[in-house]
Amino acid sequence: MQRGKNVPNFNGQFTGKAAVQTRIALQDIPEHEMVLSQFTGPQTVSDENWRHVKVTYWGTMDLIQGFGPTRGYFVNEHPNGDRDCGTYDGHVSIANGEVLLEGSWRYTHGSGQFASISGHGRFNGRMTSPNDVEMSWQGNYQIAAGTRAA
C-alpha cells in the first residue's frame, strides 16, 4: 500500500451492466429525459491494491436530445471488505450514433486501509447498449502516512 505518496499513472478499465435503470420523459421541452442508473462489474486496474475489485456506481443523466450532464457516486469493494468511495461529474454526448461519457472523478472517503484515501482523475466511456457500459479512467491517489489497515 502506498502511504503518504502520490501515485501517478493509476488507471483502469471497467465493464458493467445496469442493475437498475429508470428513464423518465419530462414534459417541459421535446426529447428531455432524466435517467437514474446503477451499474456494477469488475475492474482491471494497474495498481495491485485494486486487484479483484468490484465497482458499483449510481448516477443521473439529464439529457436533451441525448446530450447533457451526468453525476453520481461510486464504491470500490475490495476482496477483504475494505472500500474506497467517491463522486463523479461529466458529460454525455452522441457521436456517430454512439453514447459517449467523459468527465472527472474524486475520492471522498474509504474504510480499512483506504480510510484516509484522497485522489482524483478523469474518465472516458461509452454505452455499448442501453444496459452495458465500458469505461476507462486514470488519475492518482494518496493514503495518509501512518494510516494502518483496520
Q: Which residues pair with 105 in a beta bridge?
A: 88, 121
Average pLDDT, the chain: 90
Q: Encode pLDDT of 90-135 as tens digits.
A: 999 988 888 999 999 999 999 999 999 999 999 999 999 989 999 9
DSSP letter at 1 equals -
pLDDT computed for residue 150 by the predictor: 36
Q: Which of 90, 108, 99 is nearest to 134 (CA)?
A: 99
5 pLDDT band, cuts 50/70/90, is low
Domain 10-143 belongs to what topology? AOC barrel-like (2.40.350)
pTM for this prediction: 0.88
Mean of pLDDT values over 39-56 = 91
Mean of pLDDT values over 45-54 = 89
Q: Which residues touch 24 (CB under 8 Å, ≥6 apart)?
A: 33, 34, 35, 36
